[in-house]
Structure 1
């Protein structure tokens, strides 16, 4: 089975994240950039399917040159090769433009299964799997907590607030996963060394047949108009027990509509 895993490099969610004052995009140049957490679960699921059914796993990334760091980290987990879409004109691309570029690259890879995280920790829009499936004309099984492969048939348990739904589709298909689906493996020293020699193909917009004015700020369908830091937390209400603390507490809770 030919499996492609979408991997995105994002600022570490454990550190402070900011937007650039120059163009209102996520500040990445000075951030501690890592693989999007959800994508690691997609990588692990791809490797498990390969181990059970054979085939090849390709990592696909769209991002600046420094995204190579995350590509090598992904390859150290076990995938066979990677494709890196990089072009200066991509800066400022919205989700719609991003899906167009990724779909163009996926069209050259002939994937039976496309795996990705359910969301990215920087954008958190959760629309990419659906957009890609629409552009490619294939099924989308989203939010999977479990995935079963039987030949060309896919069965997924789709996680919901109330429990889960069982959905099926035939390959080729796009499947997004949550962090409940597995436990990603840690790269071994052997895997880290092997990753340095694995092939990474670089593609530009011209090679994908996508015009520069269709992406970036020029082709964006949405943009951040302005932003501001979260205001500091104000001091809370303090009640001192001088005999009527219970009444004061109930009055406060009632005023805030807690009771």
Structure 2
């Protein structure tokens, strides 16, 4: 498994238990066993071969309380998210299983499953003062990151999506989180988990209540953004369109059947 720089701001909150799991995996312990060796999660981690052929991944997890694991960073971070956000992960998994039970797998996921997958793979929770949220939703990037830069000292960005965490192992400017607006009072990981779990409903997720945020633009997250010309890249910091078509978002991670 590739080495992880736990000093990076996006990884620092995951250092415990991430470093212990990584050390176990690097020493030859199967990843699912290394994940199980940490504090109990709502699911037990099992090798990928435990998933029966043709079985839906999310339904298998929900029905068996077992999460299949493949070697590599993608499932490594997925396991860590189960540890750090157990209530929110369980809520998303329950909704996925319910949607599959009702509609089947199908060619398209549908709005609820699509939103769940987007957040599960690429989501983040941003607790920030209102002026930052207003600028972010309007995609006023220079106001967000330059004019209001001192306000970021009062903000906290928590990455939730395991595919985004995987891709941040090799950071690149265009990596973007789908962020959910969280209360500025969410000081602990347990509070953030409870907040997310309470809002993980089909009604809320069907509206896709997320806002795109290029994460390396966050002050203190990448040295290059100290030069404010960093935000002049319109391929990454795109202006808000007057009307945006509804599309199925391309995810950072591979699909899982």
Question: Which structure shows the higher strand fraction?
Answer: 1
Please report the TM-score for the alignment, with normalisation by the length of structure 1: 0.26
Could you say which structure has the larger radius of gyration?
1
Please report the TM-score for the alignment, with normalisation by the length of structure 2: 0.26
Question: Which structure shows the higher helix fraction?
Answer: 2
Q: Which structure is higher in RCO with an 8 Å CA cutoff and minimum separation 6?
A: 1
